[in-house]
Amino acid sequence: FLDAASTLVSLNPDLESTESSQNTTSTISSDQVIAQTFLQGQKLFNDKQYDEALKTIEPLKEMLDHANDGFKAKFYGNLAVILSAKGNYDEAIQNYQIAIKFNQAPESLLAGLFVNLGIALRKKSRFQEAFQVFQTGLSLKNINDSIKQKLWFHMALLYAP
């Protein structure tokens, strides 16, 4: 995640072609279906076809039951990015908050979610909440300098006229 409405994080899980030893034809795993569907949504997002991107990836929610926390966080974070791009900040905020609850996700991913959540809160003039979100992101230990700079930059924007 770089900024809300600018970048989707790849949801590509580790893909493995599953082939039954009794059957020589390969089958498509649910991970592959999720990855392929997400890639279609990502292309639509990159082409600024936000409604179509949303329609493409929203059905994946039903397939997330057995996914790990990192994958779930990426899914809800990306859903929120699309909603932010459409200007649906209230829904985006809800989805960023859902994504952050998957606290077993890598800290670098969580930090990006905090950046985007703070941006969405700022756009809704919820400045105090945005400040707290940026502070929480900065309190994470294993984040890179680029994410730290984004958190500080967007925190500073809270004070801009």
Range 88-97, long-range pairs (CB < 8 A, 24+ positions): 89/120, 89/123, 89/124, 90/124, 92/4, 92/116, 92/120, 93/117, 93/120, 93/121, 93/124, 96/120
Residue-by-residue pLDDT tens, the chain, 161 positions: 233 334 455 443 332 222 333 333 344 567 777 788 888 999 999 999 999 999 999 988 888 887 888 888 889 999 999 999 999 999 999 999 999 998 787 888 899 999 999 999 999 999 999 999 999 999 999 899 999 999 999 999 999 87
Q: What does the alpha-carbon distance between residue 38 and residue 110 come to, in Å, rounded to a whole number? A: 20
DSSP type of residue 105? S
Q: What does the alpha-carbon distance between residue 13 and residue 31 come to, in Å, rounded to a whole number? A: 6
Q: What does the alpha-carbon distance between residue 37 and residue 3 come to, in Å, rounded to a whole number? A: 23
SS (H, E, C) 5-66: CCCCCCCCCCCCCEECCCCCCEECCHHHHHHHHHHHHHHHHHCCCHHHHHHHHHHHHHHCCC
What are the tens digits of pLDDT across the range 76-100? 999 999 999 999 999 999 999 999 9
pTM for this prediction: 0.80
